[in-house]
Every structure is written in C-alpha cells, then in structure tokens.
Amino acid sequence: ETGVTQTPRHLVMGMTNKKSLKCEQHLGHNAMYWYKQSAKKPLELMFVYNFKEQTENNSVPSRFSPECPNSSHLFLHLHTLQPEDSALYLCASSPIGQNYGYTFGSGTRLTVV
Amino acid sequence: KQEVTQIPAALSVPEGENLVLNCSFTDSAIYNLQWFRQDPGKGLTSLLLIQSSQREQTSGRLNASLDKSSGRSTLYIAASQPGDSATYLCAVTLTGANNLFFGTGTRLTVIP
C-alpha cells in the first residue's frame, strides 16, 4: 500500500445511479486531491482541499461532488454520470508548504454504462 | 498555463540497455519536479523528487536531472530490466501553487 487508500478499486454504474468514491490517508498530509485519468490524456486535476477547505475546482461538472470531512478522508460523490466520465480516478495527498512531493492512491477504475 | 511534454511517447529497448526519458515544461517558475511510474490500470508510484534548487537526484538505477532555465528534465535508467516496463510520468509544481501539471507519459517496454 502506498499510504493513500482508495475504495472501491473498480466500479460499474448506470447513468442514473448515485455512488461515492472514498480516499483515506494516514500520512499526516493536509492537502488532498482528486485527479481524473482518461485514455491518452494527461492527468487532469479536479479538486484540491487544503486543511479540509476546497481551494480549487477545475471547472468540474456538478455531477461530481467532492466532500472532505477531515484532513484524512476525501470523497467523490457521483450522480447522473455520462459514459465519457469513464476513467481512472486518482486520489493524492501532500504536505502543504513543504517540498516533499505527492503520494497517490491506486485509483478507482470507473465505468459508466 | 504550464504545458508538460514527454518524448518519446513509447520506447522499446532490449534488457540491459541504458535509456533516457525526456520531459520538458514551458514555465520555468517551478517549485519541484516529480517522476512517477504507473503500471497498467494502477495508481502512480513516486520515483524521484527534484527540488527547484537541485540539479539531480539518484535512487538505485535511476537518475533524474533538472535544468530549470531550459525547462527540461531527464530520467536515466541504467541496465534496464523487464520489470521496468511501465509508463513513466513527469509532473511539475509551480511556485505558490499546490497542483501538479502532468505530461502524457512515456510507455517503456523492456524486452527480455
């Protein structure tokens, strides 16, 4: 395990379903991130949370709703998704203000049918 | 906006060969640069982190260099092994921001 745990590893959902992705870290980091990785495209930043506060929303559609109840947990709530939302969703964490780099989870492979 | 480019997009080498992966970025005001490895369908594993004030970092058979002024970094892999087969991603953080800008990666295949 990398220190950042994501569940589930795989998820298949219909376009009318509601589901949530979970991310957990116990590295003592105080920034957490959601990234989307689609085929043949660079990783795209979706959301940034610093000390539980959202500091960046990278023009993400409202069908993706993040939640950060504390510095160790991050959720991504999904509803009425489209097939083009199928991708690998990666969570990451990092210290703020310290140059120690980012730690990523193993990702959730999402398929929207 | 920071643009990160990785060349080549794919590379196949015979086992034992030394190789170099390239990364370039457009905005030289970076805070640090990080190299990651990604196995198919998996998350990212951090390989090396180079601070903006550093020129290179080494870990085992890996050596990463950074030339901020020219906007370039290289990842050198010595004596490649089939287990090195993966996609290698380069990412930079800008000064004053906590967001990573990624390249599209280089898919490496080491042939036994």
Residue B89 touches partner A, C-beta closer than 8 Å:
yes
By three-state DSSP, how is residue A63 classified?
coil
Cα angle B106-B110-B112, degrees, rounded to a multiple of 5: 170
Q: Quote the tokens at residue B90.
A: 């380069």
Q: Which of A102, A108, A109 has the most B C-beta neighbours within 10 Å, making it the best mutation to test the interface with B?
A: A102
Nearest-neighbour CA in chain A from B43: distance (Å): 4
B97 pLDDT tier (thresholds 50, 70, 90): confident
How far apart are the C-alpha atoms of B65 and B43, rounded to whole Å? 24
How far apart are the C-alpha atoms of B47 and B41, rounded to whole Å? 18
CB contact under 8 A, A2 and B89: no
Residue B57 touches partner A, C-beta closer than 8 Å:
no
Residue B51 touches partner A, C-beta closer than 8 Å:
yes
CB contact under 8 A, B42 and A40: no
Q: Of all residues in chain A, what percent carry a pLDDT higher than 90?
A: 73
Q: Write down the pLDDT at residue A32.
A: 94
Q: Write down the pLDDT at residue B99.
A: 80
B14 pLDDT tier (thresholds 50, 70, 90): very high
Q: Are B44 and B88 in contact (CB under 8 A)?
A: no
Count the neighbouring beta carbons within 10 Å of the beta carbon of residue B95. Answer: 10
Q: Are B93 and B100 in contact (CB under 8 A)?
A: yes
CB contact under 8 A, A109 and B41: yes
Q: B51 to chain A: which residues are within 8 Å by CB?
A: 99
How far apart are the C-alpha atoms of A92 and A64, rounded to whole Å? 17
Q: How many CB pairs under 8 A join A and B?
A: 59
Residue type, position A81, single letter: L
Residue B95 is given by DSSP the state T
pLDDT, mean of residues B7-27: 96
Q: Is B23 exposed, middle or buried (0-12, 13-18, 19+ CB in 10 A)?
A: buried
Q: A9 to chain B: which residues are within 8 Å by CB?
A: none
Q: Which residue of A has its CA nearest to B93?
A: A101
Q: Which of B33, B100, B107 has the most A C-beta neighbours within 10 Å, making it the best mutation to test the interface with A?
A: B100
pLDDT digits (tens, 9 = 90+) for A14-57: 998 999 999 999 899 999 999 999 987 889 999 999 888 888 88
Q: Write down the pLDDT at residue A2.
A: 54
The B19-25 sheet, strands edge to edge? B4-7, B19-25, B72-77, B62-67, B56-59
Q: Give the distance from CA B12 to its chain's centroid.
A: 16
